[in-house]
Every structure is written in structure tokens, then in C-alpha cells.
Amino acid sequence: MEHITEIVLAIFMSTGFWACVQAVLIKKMDRRSAERAALLGLLHEKLVDQCETYLDKGYISEGQYRDLDEYIYKPYRELGGNGTGQAYMERVQELIFKREGTEK
């Protein structure tokens, strides 16, 4: 039993083992970073597109604003989105709230 413990300790203390663990962790971190960047890019594109749509119309419904804020802007901001999203949201906040389905 003592030899097994020594073998296990030798494996854990070996440089090769830790280099392998480090490589796996770095690869996982790089993948997460790429996924985060991709998600941030998609949210940015959707946020800008939606804001420009409402700004062109000149109004937004309360439900549309809530959805835009909760499902697009807040996650975008929490992922580290830049000030572009905030600037768009500030402009959208100034719009008139209209009921969905009304054009005037």
C-alpha cells in the first residue's frame, strides 16, 4: 500500500502531469473567452438593430422596452459591452411609449 501512495504522489508531482493539467485549463479558458466574445458580439448586433428599429419608428411599447432591456441590454452590459449599447439605450429611453399595434 505504501508503494501505491508513493507512485500516486510521484505522478502528481511530475512536471509532465501538471503541464498537461495546465494545458487543459488554458484551452478551456480560451474556449470560454471565445464563447464570451461571440455572445457579446451577437448581443451587440441585436441591441443596435433593435434600438435603430425603434428609433426609426419614433416610439416603443412598454413590453418591447422591457424585453430589450432585460433580455438584450442587461446581459450585454454584464458581459462587458462597451458604451455604444448604453448610448443606444439612453436614446431609446427618450422615446414615447405607445401600445403595441397602434401606429399613431
pLDDT tens-digit map of 50-94: 999 999 999 999 999 999 999 999 999 999 998 899 999 999 999
Where does the chain have alpha helices with state H?
2-13, 15-57, 62-67, 74-78, 83-93
pLDDT recorded at residue 66:
96
| 11-52 residue pLDDT tens | 666 666 666 666 666 766 767 788 888 899 999 999 999 999
pLDDT recorded at residue 88:
96
Cα–Cα distance for residue pair 10/78, rounded to 1 Å: 43
pLDDT recorded at residue 17:
63
